[in-house]
Amino acid sequence: MDGAQTDEKLTAKQYKSDYRPVWCPGCGDFSVLSAITKAMAELQLKREDTAVISGIGCSSRIPAYTSVYGFHGVHGRALALATGVKLARPELTVIVTGGDGDGFSIGGNHFLHACRRNVDLTYVVMDNQVYGMTKGQASPTTASEWEGSKLTPHGTGVNPFQPLAVALAAGANFIGRQFSGDPNACAKLIAEAIQHPGFSFVQILSPCVTFRPEQREWKQTVHTAPVEPTSDPGRAGKRLMSDDGLNMGVLYVGGRPVFQPPEGTGATLADIEQKFTL
């Protein structure tokens, strides 16, 4: 971590730690890390007032590679952990990072409720349609016929999870998607998401070159969403239910109020104790 205690602008690099990622060469997550740090630089977030929270997985290693506060929690619970951080310390910028397994498999319930609760968090999921860290099992977003895992040798036989449609149905207010192959677009989307008040959800298609080498093809297949983002949930619902999974950009922005904890009344402990007195 460089010093930069002065008023100078921080560069994206200064949001990176000097710890070398454990990722495989070519992993999409390298670009996502860059995008996140670029977004931080873009917004000139104070490093000491920013926290990156994650669960477990290759993608969940992100916190250690940034120079802000971080918490590398347990598998699937990043959103709950982050909710606690943000509610206890509302002035912090809290970013949550993780994978499709961490977020949509074991963490699915917290995903639903974070969308609904609308605490001001930014959730960046590096979706590689596989469990990278545990060496290549199907995740919820894996296509049903993918036969690459010994656990599901004939494919999962299950329709892939639609994170954006579920996020919308669960009440998320900012929904976007990008491809790690375009780190600038990712940085822009993440910066927008951070600025959005309340919960924002960003899916980033981030290839796992080791267990899903065919994902290199995403470069060819992703495309900008053909329509403008909508703020009408009904319309968004229709679109996301028939989405091809490769539309890039901000896809929905709603106007729900941000979760507001109640204000204190300035009472003292003695005031509270009063109630027990005979």
Partner 1 sequence: MSNSPQSDTVSIALTGAGGAGVVTAGQMLLEAAATAGLYGLMARSSGPQIRGGESAAFVRMGPRTVTNLADAFDIHIAFDWLNVERFAAEIPLDPHSVVICDPSAGAVPEVIENSGARIVPVPLKDLTKEIPGGRVNMVGLGALANLIGLPEGTMASTLKKILRRKGEEALKASNAGVQAGRQAVAEMGVVRALTLPDKPPQTERWSITGNEAAGMGAVRGGVRFVAAYPITPATEVLEWLAPNLEKIGGLLVQAEDELASINMAIGGSFGGVPSLTATSGPGLALMMESIGLALTSETPVVVVDVMRGGPSTGIPTKSEQSDLNIALYGLHGDAPHIVTAANSVADCLFTTQWTVHLAEAMQTVGLVLSDQSLGQTRTIVDRPADEPFQAQRLVAEAPLENYRRYAVTDSGVSPMAIPGTPGGEYVADGLEHSPIGRPSSQTEDHMAQLDKRLRKILLHEYGDHWAEITGADAPETVIVTFGSSTGPVREAAEEATAWGLKVKVVSLRLLMPAQTTKFEEAIAGADRLLVVEQTHSRQFYRYLRAYYDLPRDVRVLNRPGPLPIRPGEVLSMLKEWS
Ligand X SMILES: Cc1ncc(C[n+]2csc(CCOP(=O)(O)OP(=O)(O)O)c2C)c(N)n1
- Which one of 14-22, 35-43, 80-88, 258-266 is the stretch in contact with a second copy (CB under 8 A)? 258-266
Find the binder of Mg ion among 63, 99, 160, 183 (CB under 5 A). Answer: 99
Residues near ligand SF4, by CB under 6 A: 23-24, 27, 29, 58, 128, 132, 208-211
Query: 254 — alpha (psi -120 to 50), left (phi > 0) or beta?
Result: beta
Comparison of 13 and 238: residue with beta carbon closer to a second copy: 238
Number of chain positions touching ligand X (CB under 6 A): 19
Site for partner 1 contains 207 (CB under 8 A) = no
What are the φ/ψ torsions at residue 202 (nearest 5 degrees)?
-125, 120
- 104 secondary structure, DSSP code: I
Comparison of 149 and 173: residue with beta carbon closer to ligand X: 149
Site for partner 1, residues 33 to 52, rule: CB under 8 A: 46-49, 51
Tokens of 11: 């560069």
Comparison of 128 and 173: residue with beta carbon closer to Mg ion: 128
DSSP code string of 64-78: GGBSSEEEE-STT-H
The count of other CB atoms within 10 Å of the CB of residue 117 is 18
Cβ 9 to ligand SF4 shortest distance, Å: 31
Tokens of 206: 């981030």
Find the binder of a second copy among 233, 245, 246, 249 (CB under 8 A). Answer: 233
Q: How far apart are CA 40 and CA 44, in angstroms?
A: 6
